Structure 1
């Protein structure tokens, strides 16, 4: 399962940008081969960070991982960019997040089997209820 798709990239960054960074033959369209290579390269980099913490391949792709994959893919598509460039800064932020995930300091929201976890013992709010009692009696 790919962490991001061509459609994800178009929705997030726009077709004009993807044409600009993939169309090396000046055809005026997105070069799928170039884009797929960048997506695959980004996924391989992500897997290096995840392999010690999660069983791969993952059974589902959490939204945070999709976002990480898109930013890393974009970085590879842009080639050599200055460290001050927004694409390079986003890449650095995402690799920092991946480092935190690999160390167990952050989570993808998946259990050890790679399945999405659900929150337990959460706060619930219901209109018209006062579970803390009547303040006038304090």
Structure 2
């Protein structure tokens, strides 16, 4: 089960930033547009064979980082939830993207990305302990049935036109 796709990662963060992280060749051939096209499966006719080859390798690095993020998330969730989850909460997609971004930065990680990663690991630890819920049942991995209909309850009216004696 994947919590996020390459397209999710490129949409959540700047595709140009991710392209810079995964194109390790000189000169850089992978642009944001090219990486987005490879990730989404759109036509690559506008790009050279060398660019497409390099972008395919870059997409593999993105997929590997996302897989690493999934495996990390699963290592925390497996102690409390039945995997794979039948529905993926949106928060897990965000966490997977942020963790994959951390892995793509390798040894050049910024303080912001490092802090987000540490925060996500701490949050996953809280989920594993049960102090934070994903909003899915731990035994089945499904979202519980909700009766989230609004309900208004009140007593009889205190002020009624008939009780006012003509005052109102």
Q: Does 1:104 align with 2:108?
A: no
Distance in 2 between the 1:35 and 1:22 partners? Answer: 7
Q: Figure out how many residues of one structure are paired with residues of the other and give that number.
A: 130
Q: How far has the Cα of 1:64 moved from its partner?
A: 0.9
1:2 equivalent to 2:2? Answer yes
Show the counterpart of 1:88.
114
Question: Which residue pairs with 1:28 in the alignment?
Answer: 30
Does 2:68 correspond to 1:41? yes
- Distance (Å, rounded) in 2 between the aligned partners of 1:50 and 1:99: 9
Q: How far off its partner does 1:23 sit?
A: 1.1
Residue 135 to residue 22, structure 1, CA distance change in 2 (3 Å): farther
Gaps of 5+ in 2: 36-57, 161-168
Distance 1:118 1:97, change over 3 A: farther
Q: Work out which of the residue numbers 98, 119, 135 in structure 2 matches 1:71.
A: 98
Q: CA RMSD in A?
A: 1.9
Gaps of 5+ in 1: none
Task: Give the C-alpha shift of residue 123 in structure 1.
Answer: 6.4
Q: Distance in 1 between matches of 2:85 and 2:2?
A: 9
Cα pair distance change 1:7/1:135, threshold 3 Å? farther
Q: State the TM-score, normalized to the length of structure 1.
A: 0.84
